[in-house]
Chain A
């Protein structure tokens, strides 16, 4: 248990710092790279939570595809690739106030609701050893959530077509 807590602490600190840097850095490309660190941290957290399949999907889809998309977006919009002093608007204090306020409220609510409720890993770890966690996810998607799955695939197709139509030159 201790090892997991240590890993989590390291992850949490690095993710928090990276996230903060991402929203404050003056370099657009650096922001994308900080985002990679946060996303990788999330994937690691999924592993901690015995959700191996989601972790792999996270790495493949987010880090592999979406971040690349962002980098393309940065390049195609000719954002300045080096330092840029003009990345933030004048709402910094409003934004900070709202965020801190929201964080405080959420913290209080979460603490009241769940306190020190422990996470029981024994079942999941046992299943994870035999790869059964992923089996259960697959079973669930292809039986109970089959319709949702099909709809999601249609949504992806629609988004693909929509993106092409929107971005194409006349």
Chain B
């Protein structure tokens, strides 16, 4: 069964769609098929469209053209209610952890259950957390068990990021879309985090799509690599077929545009400035 089937998909940012169809698209002609239970990494330079692609897959961004199917149906052909129920099957973890600073960690993690809860249940859980054990288990898989009752603003950047991922463990979604989960983590925690995400996806047969900046980690952990550049798919290959040249070509031109000046030239510039004053 397919989790996703994308045919020639074009996506424009919300602001751009209103002004003109000629506005540059964030994603061009994306064709991608993802089987249920597959694990793949999205790589590519900043601004390549990784986040937009994940938002599109989460039905948080309507594509402008092309075919888009999630679990065999086109979400944008469904009614609003049905589409919103479908969103509960797709879990999007954004790069910046979406946690209100004044909230407690236990509440923030349990918010994953909101789509399944009635409003009454949600209200009661604000006063007395509905399932603190489940929250604690999710947190301790990221070494955060002792932060269960802390406030979010007492956490460090890396702790917040893992707290956002612990929320993912509590969601019963069948597709996990994770945007740069390692941007605030050290190497050891990065390994732990990726291993936990893959383990969780495998244990419940969920699809895992993860955007990453660390190419070596992507190659080591994910069997399939999809590379984006300027809103187009550069390559979509099993990791065995990805070569060093392809990676270099993908990130080419991403180095700072002007190479740093040699020392004596920099000195000359400084002197020049001095002379003007």
**A and B bound?**
no
Seen from chain B, the residues whose Cβ lies within 8 Å of a Cβ on chain A are none
Seen from chain A, the residues whose Cβ lies within 8 Å of a Cβ on chain B are none
